[in-house]
């Protein structure tokens, strides 16, 4: 199956600033609003291609009438999947595997963890933009640019033993072996760039959006 480039899910809860969100959707081929993510789209001035979910959390339900009905996928509130999960599956079925989630911060911790745990699945996002931080799935070598002293943290991103190498960090990751529950908190960039390469498994990198890091994947 030919994979398309990028897609964005805008979900409920607090998201990053409008500038950051608009940059995320700028190169996206498809944008999906997951339930009250539609409210966030209205706040950002972003028009989604699809709206999915049970619509139980929408504040602006009347605004749905302005949206093509064939682009609204409504599900029962009594379902096994979250609205974000549904959006992720819809995109994957359409051939997308480079998916960014925008929003989902500042609410119930079980909802927050529900999005975080999506990163451990076969069908998963690659990036999550929260209110002030981002989560990046590192599945192959990445090069990250930023100012010296910027703080970054790393976690295992799969249930497989995670081994890795790095360069340009204050505490290099070479030779480490991580299982679920291990982590490397508050590492620092020594110079303007660093690289991280997982040898086995995957990594999750967490960094502040305010640091203005640029990730080459």
State pLDDT tens for residues 66-86. 888 999 998 877 788 899 999
Q: What is the pLDDT at residue 4?
A: 59
Mean pLDDT, the chain, integer: 92
138-216 and 7-131 share a CATH fold: yes
Q: What is the average pLDDT across 85-93?
A: 94
Q: What is the average pLDDT across 208-216?
A: 88
Residue 194 has pLDDT above 90, yes or no: yes
Domain 7-131 indexed as CATH 3.40.50.10240: yes
Q: What is the average pLDDT across 189-203?
A: 95
CB 4 within 8 A of CB 94: yes
Residue 42 has pLDDT above 80, yes or no: yes
DSSP per-residue letters across 63-125: GGGGS-GGGEEE--SS-SS-HHHHHHHHHHHTTB--EEEE--BSS-HHHHHHHHGGGGSSS--
Q: What is the pLDDT at residue 101?
A: 98
What whole-number distance in Å separates Cα of residue 166 and Cα of residue 208?
20
Residue 71: CB atoms within 10 Å: 13
In 3D space, the residue among 60, 87, 81, 103 whose CA is nearest the CA of residue 209 turns out to be: 103
**Predicted model pTM:** 0.92
Class of domain 138-216: alpha beta
* Angle ∠(161,165,171) on CA atoms, nearest 5: 105
Residue 3 has pLDDT above 70, yes or no: no
Q: What is the pLDDT at residue 210?
A: 87
What whole-number distance in Å separates Cα of residue 84 and Cα of residue 150?
30
* In the chain, where the domains are located: 7-131, 138-216
What whole-number distance in Å separates Cα of residue 25 and Cα of residue 27?
6
What phi and psi values does residue 17 have, to the nearest 5 degrees?
A: -65, 165
Residue 65 has pLDDT above 70, yes or no: yes
């Amino acid at each position: 199956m030919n994979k398309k480039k990028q897609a964005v899910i805008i979900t409920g809860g607090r998201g990053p600033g409008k500038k950051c969100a608009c940059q995320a959707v700028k190169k996206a081929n498809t944008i999906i609003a997951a339930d009250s993510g539609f409210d966030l789209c209205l706040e950002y001035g972003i028009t989604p291609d699809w709206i999915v979910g049970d619509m139980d959390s929408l504040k602006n339900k009347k605004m749905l009438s302005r949206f093509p009905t064939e682009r609204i996928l409504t599900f029962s509130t009594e379902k096994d999947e979250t609205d974000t999960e549904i959006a992720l599956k819809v995109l994957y079925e359409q051939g997308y595997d480079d998916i960014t989630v925008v929003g989902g911060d500042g609410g119930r911790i079980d909802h927050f963890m529900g999005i975080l745990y999506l990163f451990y699945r076969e069908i998963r996002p690659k990036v999550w933009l929260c209110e002030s931080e981002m989560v990046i799935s590192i599945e192959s070598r990445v090069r990250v640019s930023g100012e010296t002293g910027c703080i970054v943290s790393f976690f295992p991103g799969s249930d497989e033993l995670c081994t890795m190498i790095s360069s340009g960090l204050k505490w290099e990751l070479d030779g480490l072996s991580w299982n679920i529950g291990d982590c490397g908190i508050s590492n620092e960039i020594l110079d303007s760039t660093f690289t991280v390469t997982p040898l086995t498994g995957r990594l999750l990198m967490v960094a502040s959006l305010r640091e203005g890091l640029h990730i080459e994947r």
